[in-house]
A and B are shown apart, each in its own frame.
Chain A
Amino acid sequence: MPADSRLLQTDKLEIWRGDRPLIRDLDISAAAGEVIHLSGPNGSGKTTLLRCLAGLTLADAGTVSWFGRQFAGRPDPSTRARMQYLGHLDALKGGLTPVENLASLDALRMGERLMDIDAALDAAGVSHRRNIPCRFLSAGQKRRTGLARLLMRQAQVWLLDEPFTSLDVNGVAMVTDWIRAHAANGGLVILSTHQPMAEGVVSREIRLEGAQ
């Protein structure tokens, strides 16, 4: 793998939760255009690993390098601008409408503008609910609204924690298409899911076994 296309490199990554090691000696190397599927049973550390890659959780040993730069703590602002993390929480306010939610979340992002709010909501299939407070939306509609953020701004790296949760069949196909298109555009997607992924989307699977 040529060094310039390598976006992520971890070296002997080790993360402890409580008094047990959750992830041990993990070396990941990921390049642009890849879709990496983190798999493993519940509690095997998929979420913890994604949070660590995003910079929310600090590794107990080992290093994480993004775009060829190693970070002791959190990645620096310019690196954070090139990454988009979607956790299992949608970061939506029940009292705000999808449009208002996306406006305030978008204000936190700095990447190049790809779509405006209406277009993103339309692409996510929730444009008919755009002006209804999110607490009245179904779980799947909330998920779609949260995912619509991915379309709004350019971010080369997508870190997705269980993106398919509560989505219907069409929703899963829609997000799979987004992932495929993002990778084809030179993006990197690292996702965790228990759903079987469509043929030919995932370029590599990393299986986590959890604590020994």
Chain B
Amino acid sequence: MNMNATAGKLLRRDLVLAWRRWGDALNPLMFFVMVALVFPLAVTPEADFMRKLAPGILWVAALLSSLIGLSALFGPDFEDGSLEQQALSPVPLSYTAFVRVVGHWLVTGLPLVLLTPVIAIPLGFTAESLPALLALLAPGTLYFSFLGAIGAALTVSLRSSGLLLPVLILPLATPVLIFGARGAQLALLGDWPAGPLYMLGFMLMLAASLGPLAIAGALRISLD
């Protein structure tokens, strides 16, 4: 069995599909930018005050825009029967799920991380704090993708899962939200946020190792 070749082809499939329908991938990004940019307009243009809110705004925007793209993760594959074929493949479903979540993050999460400087500066972040911000958001958004995938897998067969998904995953998203925002605060003060980074790394390891098992189990239930 050559599972690397399987992973490569699945990843390629997801990236090609995303490339051909790039408008879909753009939606969460637009949301991310808009949420972050309307805050200074609505609250205050005062830079010192905004700087206090900025870490929280940035992370809430990242979390919410991660949630927006989740229905596209398993929904189309469930509708057209691709998910059945993934479940019946000799390749373990948890492995397939892992690959697909990483692919999803490459399309939705990574652009969000790369776009962060565009909104961080207007929010009052200093240029020196940007490396730390990106270092925090990369594992943070990947964590949101793995966690969100569990919820997406559980709700993929439900007709109206719109509100159920965020309710399911928000409790488990809050630790990363808290540590991420705290890390961004430290970065703003000019410190390297080592502590929050370790915490996010730990949460990511947990989600990336155990998450696929939960996703596979949830997908099997949804397919039954």
Contacts and interface: CB of A to CB of B under 8 A. Distances in A.
B10 interface: yes
A83 interface: yes
Contacts of A25: none
Contact of B90 (A77, A94, A103): A77
Of the four ranges (under 10, 10 to 19, 20 to 34, 35 or more), the interface on chain B belongs to 20 to 34
Interface string B174-190: 00000000000000000
Contacts of B20: 95
Nearest to A133: B20
Contact of A103 (B1, B9, B224): B9
Q: Is the interface of B mostly helix, strand, loop or mixed?
A: helix
Contacts, number: 83
Interface in A26-56: 54-56
A31 to B, nearest CB: 22
B195 to A, nearest CB: 41
A95 B17 contact: yes
Interface string B85-109: 1111111100010000000000000
A92 B80 contact: yes
A81 B6 CA distance: 14
A78 B88 CA distance: 11
B88 A96 contact: no
B16 A100 contact: yes
B52 interface: no
A55 B90 CA distance: 12
Contact of A108 (B8, B21, B79, B91): B91
A110 B90 CA distance: 7
Contact of B10 (A58, A78, A85, A107): A107
A74 B220 contact: yes
Nearest to B7: A107
Contacts of A58: 224
Contact of B9 (A55, A78, A85, A104): A104
13 contacts: A55-B88, A80-B89, A81-B90, A85-B85, A85-B88, A89-B80, A93-B80, A93-B82, A95-B17, A96-B17, A106-B9, A107-B10, A110-B90
Closest 7 CB pairs of A and B: A89-B81, A107-B9, A108-B89, A81-B90, A104-B13, A91-B81, A77-B90
Given A56-B88, A108-B89, 10 more contacts: A56-B223, A77-B90, A80-B90, A87-B84, A89-B81, A91-B84, A93-B13, A93-B76, A104-B10, A110-B90
